[in-house]
Structure 1
Amino acid sequence: MQDVYQIDKTRMRQSFHRAAKQYDAAAILQRQVREEMLSRLDVVKLAPAVILDAGCGTGHGLHALLKHFKQARGVALDIAEGMLARTKTLFPWYRFWQAKPQMVCADIEAMPLATASVDMVWSNLAVQWCNDMDTVLQEFRRVLKPNGLLMFATLGPDTLKELRAASGHGHTHVSRFIDMHDIGDALTRAGFSAPVLDVMHYTLTYDTVESVMRDLKAIGAHNATAGRAKGLSGRGFLQQLRQGYEAFRHQGKLPATYEVVFVHAWTGSQPYTAPGTSPVQFMSSKPATQGA
């Protein structure tokens, strides 16, 4: 049976590609989360040589990271070419001691990067667009060097709870988001150590349901689940959505809640080993010598 929450990556890629030009104007939550993530770097002792921004969007996160870690080189990875094109505009030239970031158009779940090639993986609100958390974290663990840092933010189950409730039953209208505790378990399975996770809730407010939907469209957050309605929603659905959402109006505004899970974890000192394998230890065949 098909998972109705399975993300159609082709549709997702096209949505973010088309949204790239107007993305920054609507990415209010992404900016707030980015600033929160950057503030947490003040207590991190790390001097990365290579930083990967996985799901870089329009590149502002990587731009800030390279200003913070002036000795680092950057890798900007996104599934949408339009987003990478916008990222390039942030780096028309760069400091003489710091090369321009490398641009990689790829899926986070199958990154064309060498094993143990980066010191830090950063990802701001991109992981929720992947289909398998274990696959994502295994990829992050694979590309990180020993003693590397993983730092990401993703969306939790309370995200867009108002829209989910107002949409009613039937087709899927909001993606499935993973609970913080399940993310913690997946980090352990992927071989990360000392994981730290916490949750913050953000609420954006709007005058109308149409404004909520317009902002989601502007950042490319279209419904790309397998269980979405394949045809036009029609006036009947929109009227139902308006009526259902009105139940949440507070002080004249409609809320849109986002549960954001913040994560950081380390790889530890051991080199990466693929799932189901273990390092081979070679024993010396030379006989031990006895003292006189």
Structure 2
Amino acid sequence: MEFKHISVLLEESVDYLNCKEGGTYVDCTLGGGGHSEQILKKIGSTGHLVGIDQDASAIKAAGERLSKYEGRVDLVKDNYSNLSYVLDELGIEKVDGFIFDLGVSSYQLDTPERGFSYKYEAPLDMRMNRNSHRTAANLVNNLSEDELAGIIEDYGEENWAKRIAQFIVEARSEKRIETTTELVGIIKAAIPATVRRSGPHPARRTFQALRIAVNDELGIIEGAIKDGVSRLKKKGRISIITFHSLEDRIVKHTYKELAKKCTCPPKFPICTCDTERQVKIITRNPILPSEEEIEANARSRSAKLRVAQRL
């Protein structure tokens, strides 16, 4: 299947980087290479771009798309949680900007055999990095009822999490749950018919929750932001697109933490924490997609862009 992914908030996210001719930039979630190509157009023939993605299919597709920029691009198959290691291996100490486009790509959702979507019959996989040993099937068949309920409630914000977990445990006692359609059937049985008739697909939140858990998507965001900020040059920027309220909350709070001047209690006569303010928040309110973009690409609807600048 051809790697297809529409870059969300493309112009806005790259424009906010204030790309400099000859600068060095890192696309931490390469995907199909849309944001990377936009950056390369702005940084000129002496600019350098590093693209990171844990999905081999993304690396291959972006490599083909960016082949005309040969000599100016390094593509690395890795997780952005290893950002500092990647830069060290490339001999890069500081960069002018980072861009993150969090969440799952359109290609991953639309490739049935990857098991990300409740729309297709497929093995319960959901791995962004196919070398990982943890799949959605592992979680569904091995976690306790309480652990499953916690994941579905916390990451999926699903009101029926406990009941869904109960039904999963009952079903797997009869037979191991192997496919997306098996899991969808269990979820539908767990959610009352009156609830299923309105709102989104009944399996959407549970599938989202399992995907986040399989790939530890939320657990790596804060550390990656802090690593990125530490590698930014003065006035360098970090541009992050989120698609989920939990992702956005982590980005917002991490920016705020890095922007604090002092963490001492207000009543302290003098500062004893020696906290150094590291960033200035550029986007006090997140940048949202236009109505035109949402109309052209419905998956952009929940996107939010937040940007910070190194002091």
Output the TM-score relative to the length of structure 2: 0.47
Of structures 1 and 2, the one with the larger relative CO (CA 8 A, separation 6+) is 1
Between Structure 1 and Structure 2, the one with more strand by share is: 1
Between Structure 1 and Structure 2, the one with more helix by share is: 2
Output the TM-score relative to the length of structure 1: 0.50
